[in-house]
Amino acid sequence: MADNDIGTATRASGNGKGTTSAARSRSASRRSARSSNASEAEMKKQIAELKREVSRLNRMLSDQAEEAAHGWYQSAADRASSLYSGASHGASRAAKQLRTQAHSVSETVQQNPGTISTAVAIGGLFGVLMGLTIARSSQPDPDWFRRWQR
């Protein structure tokens, strides 16, 4: 018990020579708390900086995606426009050629009405005969037709 009283007396006197481990651990814990607070503040600062960097990168990516989409749309519109103008030009030429040929046929019919009407009549007769031949060979006589022939 006497040892215990001496330790308490030296601690109470606070002369510094008899500093106990509790005092040392308190000061160490204050230092570690300060360094912990400092490292925590530094970490928060780094996290905030990283968040700003990520948002900046996101803005950059969205701007680039917007530019790419605009470029793609513009090139597609240009291609469609050139295809339309090419098709329009081709259709115009085809219509002009068709008009020319129709005019040529019209003149030929006007100059030779008998020849043309004879050619159309012979063609029609030939078509009818071909149709009858094909119809006769592809289908056998119906059953009701045979009943009346007996």
Cβ atoms of 29 and 18 closer than 8 Å: no
5 against 21, higher pLDDT: 21
Q: What is residue 35's predicted lDDT score, i.e. its pLDDT? A: 74
pLDDT-based confidence at residue 9 (cuts at 50, 70, 90):
very low
pLDDT at 78 over 70: yes
Instruction: Summarize pLDDT for 116-137 with one digit per residue, the tens.
Output: 888 889 999 999 999 988 877 7
Supply 77's token pair.
């519109």
The amino acid sitting at 13 is S
| Cβ within 8 Å of residue 105, ≥6 positions away | none
Distances (CA, A) of 117 to 110, 137, 150: 11, 31, 45
Q: Is 20:7 a contact under the CB 8 Å cutoff?
A: yes
Q: Would you kindly state where each structural domain of the chain is located, as residue ranges?
A: 16-111, 113-150
CA angle 73, 79, 81 (to 5 degrees): 100
Answer yes or no: is pLDDT of 145 > 50: yes
Q: With contact defined as beta carbons under 8 Å apart, do 100 and 107 qualify?
A: no
pLDDT above 60 (res 107): yes
